[in-house]
Amino acid sequence: MCAAQGTRSVRRFRPTSARALRLSRRLVPLFYLAVILASVLILLTVRSSLISTIETGLHSAMTVLVDNEMDEGVVELQHVVSILSRHSDIANEQVYGLFDLNGQHIVGLIETLPNISTAQSHPFEISINGLKGDYLIQRANLAEAILIVGVSTQVLDRLTTELLIIVPLLALFLMGAGFWVNSVSNRSIADHLGEVEGALHKFAGGDLKARIAMQDPPEDQIGDLSFQVNDNLDRLDLAIGSIKHASQAIAHDLRTPLTRTSLALQSVLKDEGLSDSTLEKLDSATIELEQLGTTFDTILRISNIEASQSKINFTLFDLGAMANEIGESYALALEDAGYTLQVTTPKIDNVLVRADRNMIAQLIINLVTNVMKHCPHGTDVELIIAQTETGAMIRVTDNGPGVPEEALASIFTSFTRLDPSRKSSGSGLGLALVKAIANHHDAHVNATDKAPGLQVDVQFGPSAGAPV
């Protein structure tokens, strides 16, 4: 199971689900930042709106009192401020203070003239009856007095405090909700992309009926993508099926003329009047025809195995006993050709498998003789039969040159030959037949470069060893 170093590359699928989710992961911090900035903006906007409302009320109160002073005089204004002040305290929204032009207190709860000179609102701390409070105040310079009107900011401060609690909690809720939505969305996207990737892997591995499970009609862009992928897989399946059918038809049609030609050459070889040179050429032509006939037989057999679903020839038998029989039959031929074969089987328990006995024998023989075709003399071959946790396993290893990592996936494809000069024997169908037999038994075949050497595992499932 060796091959010369080749340059053929095999495209491998990348983890598309992780790559597709990078954008959403980058957007999550931006979403959180946007939530925080929006929370700060909401807080500032609400506070600004409350201040504007307070200033509007403050301006309205000041306007009413100034108009009263202009209509009734400062004495009437003093009387009004006195009445309003009796119903005000530090906890109320509005407080008043009336001062003479020298800044002396006349009436009102504001007893000290604030050091402001404009009619605009100013934040100010005022002490009333020994209690301090924060106010927005305005000053009006009248003809005979100075009027100060203040509006408490306690409501504003209380609402600001509440907003400082509510807005961060709302932001945390939104971030939590966003994280949950993002996780669910990412998980859904990852699941869908995983299904797409899985179907493509199966198809690339030879399961031409692998398709993506999807709803009809598609509900989103991933659904549309799945539909397009399935449509393309259907087209590829049809094209590959047509090629296989054509190959099978060609092999079938050419098999009879090849047989007749071979028989004719054998008949000519019996003619005693032929020269040694002619006999040598006829012998060579006969061998080539026999090899070509074997190739066509293999093509037909692979096609028949891939097309058949019948399990009628499946029987329960011991893989270890079969491996020992094959080892005894081929050990001498391998030794004469310069190779050594070692068979390793469980010493106590049988490794039972329910399978087509002739097909499994062909699978093992192909794996073993493949070494003779592609590995140099002196290569050691080991045939191992084992019982794993998942079922019976056939393993064939060698210490030859091995197969390049990038070519491992292609060695089970029909007509694959990693020797570009085609100097090595074989048609490139031996391992393709192994793959077809393994698929027919729902077994998984895998090749690993051991550097040096190649290891091929054929792993059967649990049901392969179950009694009927």
Residue pLDDT, tens place only, 150-179? 887 777 777 777 777 776 777 677 667 767
Q: In the chain, pLDDT over 90 holds for what percent of residues? A: 8
Distance (Å, whole) CA 294 – CA 11: 31
At 138, is the secondary structure helix, strand, or coil?
A: strand
Domain(s) of CATH 1.10.287.130: residues in the chain:
221-306
CATH topology of domain 17-182: Beta-Lactamase (3.30.450)
Looking at residues 232-242, what average pLDDT do you find? 73
The whole-number pLDDT of residue 11 equals 38
Domain(s) of CATH 3.30.450: residues in the chain:
17-182
The whole-number pLDDT of residue 384 equals 92
Give the confidence band of 6 by pLDDT, cuts at 50, 70, 90.
very low
Architecture of domain 312-465: 2-Layer Sandwich (3.30)
Q: What top-level class would CATH report for the domain 221-306?
A: mainly alpha
Looking at residues 236-252, what average pLDDT do you find? 64
Give the confidence band of 374 by pLDDT, cuts at 50, 70, 90.
confident
Looking at residues 343-352, what average pLDDT do you find? 84
Which residues neighbour 468 within 8 Å (Cβ) at sequence distance 6 or greater?
316, 354
Looking at residues 77-102, what average pLDDT do you find? 78
Looking at residues 11-22, what average pLDDT do you find? 46
The whole-number pLDDT of residue 461 equals 84
Q: What single string gives the DSSP state of each residue in 394-422? A: EEEEE-SS---GGGGGGTTSTT--S-TT-
Longest dimension (CA), the chain: 156
pLDDT over 50 (residue 421): no
pTM of whole model > 0.75? Answer: no
Phi, psi of 270 (to 5 degrees): -80, -10
Residue, of 34 and 445, whose pLDDT is higher:
445
Domain(s) of CATH 3.30.565.10: residues in the chain:
312-465
The whole-number pLDDT of residue 130 equals 61
What sign results for the dihedral spanned by CA atoms 72, 73, 79, 84? positive
